[in-house]
Amino acid sequence: MIEKLNDNFSLKNGGYSNSEDTTTLPRHRWYYYKEGFSPNLVEKAIEHVGVKKGELIIDPFNGGGTTTLTSSLLGHNSIGIEVNPFTSFLSDAKIKNADISKFKNIESDLLQFIERSAKSPLLGYSTFSEKENLKKWLFNDSVLNSFEAGWQYSNSIPSYDIRKLIKLALISSAMKNGNAKRDGKCLRYRNNWDKNSFNKDTFNETLVNSISIIKDDIQSNPIQSRSKILKGDCRIVLESSDELKNFKLCVTSPPYLNTFDYTDIYRPELFLGKFIQTSQKLYDLRLETVRSHVQAKWNMPIMNDFGLLYEQTIKHINENKENLMHKNIPFMIQAYFEDMLNILKMLKAKAAKDAQVWFVVSNSAYAGLEIPVDLIIGDIASKAGWYLKEIGVLRYVKKRKTKYSPNVTELRESVIILSALK
Ligand SMILES: C[S@@+](CC[C@H](N)C(=O)[O-])C[C@H]1O[C@@H](n2cnc3c(N)ncnc32)[C@H](O)[C@@H]1O
């Protein structure tokens, strides 16, 4: 497997595995999705494979929708699957068209509603707003109440697409006027957050600006392809949906094997947008995600035939259990590779005879060992019936020193390129 690793890959160190460049790009910039890859990666894959108009491009872990949006902007049909209802909403909104002449009245009505304000159901809930004995809270009351008034108004907008776009602008404006922002695995309070005094006026200003950007981008970058987002667990949707049949290219990035919980980190958006209304529902959603974290009580994995590298890895992990940050890590590692094998098999069953998969992953570190996730998935892909073309190194990411793996200082991020044809 190691012989397939290309450390001189042409895309190495070109910013392909992160989304920093999306902050200024039309439509992508409607919401910064930190965990995404670059649209340039999708463009390179499309070019490399020579995808023709009418051929389908898919992403079973669609996240903020980089694959579906980039493909759609280039005129290709694309389908994304995403389990998180906020992110599936986000990626769907990004590929919407709308008659922008209708925005004018909507915008003035929206601002009038916000002026009147409405009581947010999140006031006093958990850490969402200020209350007795709470040192920090996510939103100031006037931001929550302005958001709520806008949300109530948006429900009366007759056009489904415009309603969706206004809702996205509302969520984005609330988050930009929130006291904390996403930072790695957690939400971090902004410097001097208590002095920032975000309020109705700052919220309105952000909202007007967000809507203006959305209008500009719809006009300058209309979508001319037939693309869609399927909301759900790809481990089920991939098997049940006929729409994915005969796909030509899949560009995707599953959650990394790093205990990052995509449901928890998007908790503010999930509750703001009323996608989730109780902690129990949030927990239920976790059970639908790929088994890459330790926050839920998953079903036990059954398979363990993932090749020699996996065997060496799991042996080391089991022999060094005292150096693990959580007792469920061995189980998570096995379950993760079981999920990857099943997904790669389902992808193979839906692929066109000359299809390719571009699968972006990162290695991880547990009990002092760097786990070669890319090489193990290379082994697994062959078992799933794919031909492994190469594993292209995209970059080495510096890793913070931890008590459990002090010797691992950087982790490899790579793209595993699989072909249905030898
Ligand atoms: C690394 S992110 C993908 C980012 C994406 N490439 C982009 O550029 O925006 C992984 C995504 O997989 C989603 N996910 C996790 N488990 C899933 C499942 N079982 N089915 C579908 N999506 C899932 C997460 O919610 C997350 O949005």
Q: Is the pLDDT of residue 1 over 90?
A: no
Antiparallel, parallel or unpaired: β 5-6 and 387-398: parallel
pLDDT in tens, 63-85: 999 999 999 999 999 999 999 99
In whole angstroms, give the CA distance from residue 69 to residue 66. Answer: 5
CA atoms within 13 A on the CB side of 395: 10
Atom of ligand 1 at shortest range from CA of 235? 19
Query: Do the beta carbons of residue 397 and residue 355 sit within 8 Å?
Result: no
pLDDT of residue 401: 82
Centre of ligand 1 to C-alpha 61, Å, is: 4
pLDDT in tens, 236-283: 999 999 999 999 999 999 999 998 888 989 999 999 999 999 999 999
Substitution site in 42, 61, 72, 336 for ligand 1 pocket (most atoms within 8 Å of beta carbon): 61
Radius of gyration of the chain (CA): 22
In whole angstroms, give the CA distance from residue 75 to residue 191. Answer: 42
For residue 355, what pLDDT band results from cuts at 50, 70 and 90?
A: very high
Nearest CA-CA partner of 97 in 154, 142, 162, 48: 162
In whole angstroms, give the CA distance from residue 151 to residue 316. Answer: 52
User: Is the Cβ atom of 71 under 6 angstroms away from ligand 1?
Assistant: no
DSSP H or E segment with residue 55? none
Rounded to the nearest 10 degrees, the angle between the axes of helix 329-350 and helix 308-319 is 160
Centre of ligand 1 to C-alpha 87, Å, is: 8
pLDDT in tens, 171-195: 999 999 999 999 877 899 999 998 8
Task: Give all domains of the chain, ordered by start, each with its CATH number.
Answer: 2-82+224-259+293-419 (3.40.50.150), 100-220 (no CATH)
| Structure tokens given for 189 | 């309070």
